[in-house]
C-alpha cells in the first residue's frame, strides 16, 4: 500500500508517518508512505494508492480528491492527534476496498 499524507506543511504528518511505518513493520504490512504539504501533493500523488489529509487541511478534501483522482479522506482528529496507526491504516485500507 502506498499512502501520501497531506497536511499544511508536511511537518506534523511526519510524526504520524514514523508511527505508521513502525506499526506496519511490526505487523508485516508492506507500506510505502510519504508526507507533503498541501501545496505539493499534485507533484507526487500519481505514485500513491491513497491520500490521507491531516485534520488541519480538511477544508481541502474536495479539491484534493478532484485534483488527484485518488481515493482521499481526512484522518479523524483524534486518530491524528494520538498517532493511532492502526485506525489510520484501517482508514486507508477501507478506501482501497
Segment 31-53, tens digit of pLDDT: 999 999 999 999 999 999 999 99
Helix extents (H) in 2-59? 12-26, 41-44
Cα-flanking dihedrals φ and ψ of residue 34, to 5°? Answer: -145, 160
Predicted pLDDT of residue 10: 67
Question: Annotated catalytic residue: which of 5, 7, 20, 45?
Answer: 7
Q: Please state the pTM of the whole predicted model.
A: 0.94
Predicted pLDDT of residue 82: 93
Q: Which three cell numbers stand for residue 66?
A: 478532484
Catalytic residue check, 45: no
For residue 97, pLDDT beyond 70: yes
Amino acid at each position: 500500500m502506498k499512502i501520501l499524507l497531506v497536511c499544511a506543511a508536511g511537518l506534523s504528518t511526519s510524526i504520524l508517518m514514523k508511527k505508521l511505518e513502525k506499526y506496519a513493520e511490526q505487523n508485516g504490512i508492506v507500506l510505502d508512505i510519504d508526507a507533503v504539504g498541501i501545496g505539493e501533493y499534485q507533484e507526487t500523488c500519481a505514485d500513491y494508492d491513497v491520500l490521507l489529509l491531516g485534520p488541519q487541511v480538511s477544508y481541502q478534501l474536495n479539491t484534493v480528491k478532484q485534483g488527484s483522482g485518488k481515493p482521499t479522506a481526512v484522518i479523524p482528529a483524534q486518530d491524528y492527534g494520538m498517532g493511532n496507526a492502526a485506525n489510520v491504516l484501517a482508514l486507508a485500507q477501507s478506501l482501497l476496498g
